[in-house]
Amino acid sequence: MSKQSQHVLIALPHPLLHLVSLGLVSFIFTLFSLELSQFGTQLAPLWFPTSIMMVAFYRHAGRMWPGIALSCSLGNIAASILLFSTSSLNMTWTTINIVEAVVGAVLLRKLLPWYNPLQNLADWLRLAFGSAIVPPLLGGVLVVLLTPGDDPLRAFLIWVLSESIGALALVPLGLLFKPHYLLRHRNPRLLFESLLTLAITLTLSWLSMLYLPWPFTFIIVLLMWSAVRLPRMEAFLIFLTTVMMVSLMMAADPSLLATPRTYLMSHMPWLPFLLILLPANIMTMVMYAFRAERKHISESETRFRNAMEYSAIGMALVGTEGQWLQTNKALCQFLGYSQEELRGLTFQQLTWPEDLNKDLQQVEKLISGEINTYSMEKRYYNRNGDVVWALLAVSLVRHTDGTPLYFIAQIEDINELKRTEQVNQQLMERITLANEAGGIGIWEWELKPNVFSWDKRMFELYEIPPHIKPNWQVWYECVLPEDRQHAEKVIRDSLQSRSPFKLEFRITVKDGIRHIRALANRVLNKDGEVERLLGINMDMTEVKQLNEALFQEKERLHITLDSIGEARGLY
């Protein structure tokens, strides 16, 4: 997924409802702007509708622009008719607003990144140029050319300033807004701090306008505090509401701009020095905190980079779409790619197909919050096309608002371990085959928990169903009663002396009696005590039967030879 495709559009149930909503927003802000014009100017001293249209154009595909222009224009016209008569409508101004919005949207798209339009001061300067300088100047020129009046310079200045102020107050909000931003205010601390800062800023701004000389100096200090304390979205929202409140106060009472206040200046002649020191002190502390924080971040980043770069196992920062953002040397060596080559790939492209679905399922659970981390063994393709094994451990880093940012992946080379496992498996298969061919059953007895473990052949020897859990009592009841005491004594003596044992006994089976030879060795713990017994059982029935047959044959042979000897003595 490209960065441009990650651009978040305003999502509403239906395009028509979307356009109606834009028209309603434009209607409300037009009412506010036109209310200001009723206090003595033909042109509104603060104009928001153009900025609303500009943001809507910026955030939507070009095919929706005609509908957006129509809905916003209808909102403007409806507000004008509500406050004034239809004869006061000026479609030329509405057309100029549309031209400004189109030019501004095109410039903003060219100048700003889609995925995060305002990342630094340079982005803000480009925003100001594309929305608050070029479009207002263009609009002012068009107003002077298309609607000449008695004082064109005054009309030009009012138009440019009103459009510029509206753009700087509203466009940043429109560009930054994303639906998930609203989820941030589920954090009680952020919500409380935002509302408290808004209330204090509006209250003190109102008092400053009424009672203090040079009130904008105090308001600047308040807005600077908001900028320092709050995230961008909340800070720009406070800027907008403060501008709207102050503009209403100025329009209602222009005398508020008359400074200084004679009463205050006569009693506090040195007040200007306070106005000089307040912003300077605040900016000094802000910059100090900023430098300290930047130093701390730089040190943390250096520690993290060193820990990652010099790690003996592979480490990577992986984007939410699977792209390799940052990799260390161990991972590059493991996969055979350089860091630059990996940045052009995704982990999906390098994953063995049989392991990909399982990995993606875990990723979805991680993003949804079902799990915090996961680990799995998986296979990758290296640069040569060979399949390599890795132990993968993944965790997710989220923004303070809960938005997934990137994954931290640890990728350990386990090729040698897998080869060893394969060799051990092959060896175990050979041992199992040899045991099955020789009729040997393997058993283990852990003494402290008193747990018995039998292999498949043991169950076959004793003719016990596999679902039955083996234990001492099960084995003891299988032993022929005549052999039980001797067998138990041999085992107990072996445990006491910590020595291996050999034992022959008989067990009862369906077809009669089976002769068993048991061999066992002891495994000692760190204290030298017997921890468990590990042994084998061999079916000696056929050997015993053969020995018995040989013995009987030998007896018959002796009888025959004795009979022959006696016969010779008679003759």
Residue 555 included in any domain: no
User: 529 pLDDT band (50/70/90 cuts)?
Assistant: confident
Q: Has this prediction a pTM greater than 0.75?
A: no
User: 6 pLDDT band (50/70/90 cuts)?
Assistant: very low
What distance in Å separates the CA atoms of residue 104 and residue 167, rounded to the nearest whole number?
10
Quick one: pLDDT at residue 12? 44
Residue 299 included in any domain: no
3-state SS, residue 369: coil
Q: Burial of 1 by CB count in 10 Å (0-12 exposed, 13-18 middle, 19+ buried)?
A: exposed
- For residues 9 and 157, membership in a common domain is answered with yes
- For residues 3 and 103, membership in a common domain is answered with yes
* Whether 139 contacts 49, CB under 8 Å: no
Task: Return the percentage of the chain with pLDDT > 90, whole number.
Answer: 33
Question: Nearest CA to 248 among 50, 36, 61, 438?
Answer: 36
* Strands 387-398, 373-381: pairing kind: antiparallel
Reading the block at residue 472, the tokens are: 């001492």
Residue bearing tokens 């239809």: 86
- For residues 4 and 134, membership in a common domain is answered with yes
Question: To the nearest 5 percent, what fractions of the chain are helix, strand and coil?
Answer: 65, 15, 20
Give residue-wise pLDDT tens across range 91-128.
888 899 999 999 999 999 999 988 778 888 888 889 99
Task: Dihedral sign for Cα 356, 361, 365, 367, please.
Answer: positive
Reading the block at residue 337, the tokens are: 């790619």
| CATH code, domain carrying 500 | 3.30.450.20
Kindly state the average pLDDT of the residues 189-202: 88
3-state SS, residue 511: coil
- For residues 164 and 190, membership in a common domain is answered with no
**Residue scoring higher pLDDT (86 or 264):** 86
Question: Nearest CA to 443 among 483, 476, 463, 470?
Answer: 470
Q: Which DSSP string corresponds to 79-145?
A: HHHHHS-GGG--HHHHHHHHHHHHHHHHHHHHHS-SS-S-SSHHHHHHHIIIIIIHHHHHHHHHHHH
What distance in Å separates the CA atoms of residue 66 and residue 69, rounded to the nearest whole number?
5
Q: Quick check: 536 pLDDT over 50? A: yes
Question: Which element (helix H / strand E) includes 382?
Answer: none
What distance in Å separates the CA atoms of residue 443 and residue 473, rounded to the nearest whole number?
15
Mean pLDDT, rounded, of the chain: 83
Give residue-wise pLDDT tens across range 61-86.
888 899 999 999 999 899 888 887 77
Q: Which DSSP string corresponds to 200-236?
A: HHHHHHHHHHHH-SSHHHHHHHHHHHHHHHS-HHHHH
Give residue-wise pLDDT tens across range 19-61.
888 889 999 998 888 887 755 555 567 889 999 999 999 988 8
Q: Which of 255, 274, 293 is the last residue before a domain boundary?
A: 274
Residue 4 included in any domain: yes
- For residues 10 and 117, membership in a common domain is answered with yes
Give residue-wise pLDDT tens across range 395-428.
999 887 778 889 999 999 998 988 888 888 887 7
What distance in Å separates the CA atoms of residue 51 and residue 97, rounded to the nearest whole number?
9
Number of separate domains in the chain:
4
- For residues 442 and 488, membership in a common domain is answered with yes
What's the domain range around 476? 422-539
The DSSP symbol for 186 reads G
* Whether 359 contacts 376, CB under 8 Å: yes
- For residues 29 and 172, membership in a common domain is answered with yes
CA dihedral 473, 475, 480, 483 (to 10 degrees): -90
Quick one: pLDDT at residue 1? 36
User: 2 pLDDT band (50/70/90 cuts)?
Assistant: very low
Give residue-wise pLDDT tens across range 199-258.
999 999 898 888 877 788 788 888 888 887 788 888 889 999 998 898 888 877 777 766
Q: How far is CA 240 from CA 58, 78, 219, 230, 402, in A?
A: 20, 23, 13, 14, 26
- For residues 114 and 146, membership in a common domain is answered with yes
Q: Quick check: 169 pLDDT over 50? A: yes
In whole angstroms, what separates CA 267 from the centre of its chain? 59
- For residues 243 and 384, membership in a common domain is answered with no
3-state SS, residue 184: helix
In whole angstroms, what separates CA 242 from the centre of its chain? 36
Residue 487 included in any domain: yes
Residue 3 included in any domain: yes
Q: Quick check: 3 pLDDT over 50? A: no
Residue 113 included in any domain: yes
Q: Burial of 525 by CB count in 10 Å (0-12 exposed, 13-18 middle, 19+ buried)?
A: exposed
Residue 128 included in any domain: yes
Quick one: pLDDT at residue 10? 38
Q: Which of 394, 413, 432 is the last residue before a domain boundary?
A: 413
- For residues 339 and 479, membership in a common domain is answered with no
- For residues 155 and 6, membership in a common domain is answered with yes
Reading the block at residue 487, the tokens are: 């067998």
What distance in Å separates the CA atoms of residue 377 and residue 352, rounded to the nearest whole number?
11
Residue 568 included in any domain: no
- For residues 152 and 265, membership in a common domain is answered with no
Q: Quick check: 433 pLDDT over 80? A: no
Q: Burial of 388 by CB count in 10 Å (0-12 exposed, 13-18 middle, 19+ buried)?
A: buried
Q: Quick check: 476 pLDDT over 70? A: yes
